[in-house]
Copies of this chain bind each other. A is one copy, B any other.
Amino acid sequence: MSVIKYSRQREAIKEYLMHTTEHPTADTIYMNIRKTFPNISLGTVYRNLNLLVDQGEIIKLRCEDGCDRFDGKTDEHYHFACKRCGKVMDLEMESIEHINKIAGAGFKGRIDGNVTFFYGLCPDCCTEDE
């Protein structure tokens, strides 16, 4: 098994994800990191994102719109996607991990967890409706 060496690019990606709540796509991350590392390549961004996901330092979100988004917040929380503007946000809500028990009730396998995505209209799009 190979050792993981420090890299400024990876550090910058991690740093960027720690300080945004936007749940950016790989391409958005690429555009932003380029401000600091103009020569960084998309391939490097992808390689580092996958590495960070494997290490559990960031989370990969499989969105409805097809492409992946990344989240630097790794503690248990839930996401919301706006059906109108596509924005993805964190939800401040109490735990719903009890649904794992509900799901496991009549199931012969083992339930380890769940991925839950809520959808509807975000606060901004909701206001526009009035």
Contact = CB atoms under 8 A, between A and B. Distances in A.
Nearest to A112: B120
A66 B116 CA distance: 16
Tallying the copies of this chain within the complex gives 2
Interface in A86-122: 91-94, 96, 99-100, 102-103, 105-122
Given A96-B102, A103-B93, A114 B109 contact: no
Interface in A35-67: 62-64, 66
Interface of A: 62-64, 66, 78, 80, 82-83, 91-94, 96, 99-100, 102-103, 105-126
Given A80-B103, A83-B112, A111-B120, 18 more contacts: A62-B64, A62-B66, A80-B107, A80-B111, A82-B109, A92-B106, A96-B96, A107-B123, A108-B123, A108-B126, A109-B121, A111-B118, A111-B119, A112-B119, A112-B120, A112-B121, A114-B117, A116-B117
